[in-house]
Amino acid sequence: MIRFRTTIILILLLVLSACGNQHIIDHSKQVKLSDENSVEEIEIWHTYSDEETRIFENEIIPLFEEKYPGIDVKSVRQPHSKQLMSALISRASVNRTPDVVRMDITWIPKFVHLDLLYPISEFDDFELVKTRFLQNPLESNRFGKNYYGLPLNTNVKAAIYNKEAVERLGLDHLPETMDELIGIVKENNLKIGISDVSPWNSLPYFYGLGGKVMNKDYTKASGYLDSKESISALKELLGLYQNGYIPPEVLSGYAETWQNVSSGDYFMIDEGPWFYSVRSENDLSLVNQRTVSGVFPSNGEERSILGGENAVITKGTKHREASWTFVKWMTTEEPQSLLLKAGLLPTNKRVEISKFAEEYPYYKSYIESIDEAFLRPPVPQWEEINTILTNTFRNIFSGEVSVEEGLKKAAADIDRQLSS
């Protein structure tokens, strides 16, 4: 009897042990666990707008995950601000960065300098991948000899004119040079609506009149920012401001540029493609009735300032190959075409945009300007240089310093930043 009870107990123990180990008795669940373990999750931080985020999360990510079932994408929307930069740097210090970041093109040099980005030019297929891009957006990812990201979307500024004024003046073409623009403005007592004196808003005019911030290697400002060409360019802008052709709001940064060009208070403003893309259908129809866009005028080879966002892979990622797969796919024709619907200009030169330009002709000016756009100096110290230039231009326009004195001091201050 004792031997029989012992046998029963052993059998019960074996059954209970089997019930506690689903891998032994449930082969289907074992396979499922194995499949789950084979899926990699990558996290991307981005700053897409409401409509862009809707397309990205509801259309683009599902398409990617269908094509690559072994990779799940976690989308984390962030505000575009300096706080985002600080958060990324802080998380990197404890090795908790996201895998992929959609990053403003001006941030890349700083993150490279801090050794936070993986050089994607080390991937075996990079040389093939890079052939798909427009040159200027691609170059915004290069720092030194390496590339640290792929361009996701690009933008430039176009010149937007009050249509009634253009017709009233009988212009047979929109101004192509800064001399043409300034001549029309002075002759007819018109206004150019510059939003403020920050580099993003003032450099297109400064460069368009022949000014420079630094040399082509981005290593020196003295001799360039304070050159006779730069002094002449800024004196021209200052004269426009002093004589009322540039409104006083340029110093406060509160110029109602969109409203004033539509109403006719301003003859011309400069603005990115979001001037059109963020509007409702009814509002857009009204804007098209009241304004007309053209390429930004310039006396030189460079027409407008280049903006945009790039996709980078953080150095701390544990999913480098999966992140590279996602970043590459994001720059192919299908996702780029989907985001084009939200007004994000593609960087992939194979995306067919001629039909898009036919349907939305106001984008033509932006598309034509990309190849002639200039980069803000791609240096790690750009944030500091941006502040120096903003303060210098503000001090000159407010009459606190002369053009020569202000530019000479700014050039010396920038050189100290570059050598730090």
The pLDDT value given to residue 24: 28
- Decide: residue 8, CB within 10 A, 0-12 exposed, 13-18 middle, 19+ buried: exposed
Residue 376's closest CA among 89, 146, 139? 139
Question: Which of 16-20, 123-127, 142-146, 274-278 has the lowest average pLDDT?
Answer: 16-20
Listed in sequence order, the DSSP H helices in 96-244 are 108-113, 126-129, 135-139, 163-168, 178-188, 199-208, 228-242
The pLDDT value given to residue 95: 81
More confident residue, 16 or 180: 180
Do strands 373-374 and 304-305 pair parallel, antiparallel, or not at all (unpaired)?
parallel
Write the DSSP symbol of residue 114: T
The pLDDT value given to residue 21: 37
Residue 68's closest CA among 336, 354, 417, 324? 324
> Cβ of 383: how many Cβ atoms within 10 Å?
14
- Architecture (CATH level 2) of domain 156-305+375-419: 3-Layer(aba) Sandwich (3.40)
User: pLDDT over 90 for what percent of the chain?
Assistant: 80
The pLDDT value given to residue 37: 58
Residue 29 has pLDDT above 60, yes or no: no
Contact predicate 203/213, CB 8 Å: yes
From residue 404, alpha-carbon distances to 45, 276, 389, 407 in Å are 43, 39, 14, 5
The C-alpha atoms of residue 370 and residue 139 are separated, in whole angstroms, by 12
Residue 190 CA, distance from chain mean position: 32
Give me the residue spans of the domains in the chain: 40-155+307-368, 156-305+375-419
- Mean pLDDT, range 287-298, rounded to an integer: 96
Taking the domain 40-155+307-368, which CATH number applies? 3.40.190.10
The overall average pLDDT reported for the chain is 90
The C-alpha atoms of residue 269 and residue 292 are separated, in whole angstroms, by 11
The pLDDT value given to residue 45: 96
- Mean pLDDT, range 89-109, rounded to an integer: 92
- Decide: residue 114, CB within 10 A, 0-12 exposed, 13-18 middle, 19+ buried: middle
- Decide: residue 408, CB within 10 A, 0-12 exposed, 13-18 middle, 19+ buried: middle
Do strands 291-294 and 192-193 pair parallel, antiparallel, or not at all (unpaired)?
unpaired
Residue 31 has pLDDT above 60, yes or no: no
- Mean pLDDT, range 349-363, rounded to an integer: 86
User: pLDDT over 70 for what percent of the chain?
Assistant: 91
Which residues have CB under 8 Å from 288's CB, separation 6+? Answer: 362
Residue 2 has pLDDT above 50, yes or no: no
Q: Token pair of 223, please?
A: 């001799």
Contact predicate 43/76, CB 8 Å: yes
Residue 353 has pLDDT above 70, yes or no: yes
Q: What is the pLDDT of residues 175-187, one digit of tens each?
A: 999 999 999 999 9
Q: What is the pLDDT of residues 294-304, one digit of tens each?
A: 999 999 888 89
Which residues have CB under 8 Å from 88's CB, separation 6+? Answer: 45, 97, 98, 101, 111, 116
Question: Which of 17-21, 216-220, 357-361, 411-415 has the lowest average pLDDT?
Answer: 17-21
The pLDDT value given to residue 20: 39
From residue 149, alpha-carbon distances to 111, 138, 325, 382 in Å are 11, 8, 13, 18
Asked whether the domain spanning 156-305+375-419 has the same topology as the one spanning 40-155+307-368, the reply is: yes
Residue 13 has pLDDT above 50, yes or no: no
The pLDDT value given to residue 298: 95
Q: pLDDT class for 82, splitting at 50, 70, 90?
A: confident
The pLDDT value given to residue 289: 95
Residue 380 has pLDDT above 90, yes or no: yes
- Mean pLDDT, range 404-415, rounded to an integer: 98
For the question of whether the overall pTM of this predicted structure is more than 0.85, the answer is yes
The pLDDT value given to residue 215: 97
Q: What is the pLDDT of residues 306-319, one digit of tens each?
A: 999 999 999 999 99
The C-alpha atoms of residue 223 and residue 215 are separated, in whole angstroms, by 8
Residue 130's closest CA among 115, 114, 146? 146
The C-alpha atoms of residue 257 and residue 162 are separated, in whole angstroms, by 11
Q: What is the pLDDT of residues 132-141, one digit of tens each?
A: 999 999 999 9
Residue 388 has pLDDT above 60, yes or no: yes
Q: What is the pLDDT of residues 162-219, one digit of tens each?
A: 999 999 999 999 999 999 999 999 999 999 999 999 999 999 999 999 999 999 999 9
Q: pLDDT class for 266, splitting at 50, 70, 90?
A: very high
The DSSP line for 255-309 is: --HHHHHHHTS-SEEEE-THHHHTS-HHHHHHHHHHEEEEPPP-SSS--EE-EEE
Residue 347 has pLDDT above 60, yes or no: yes
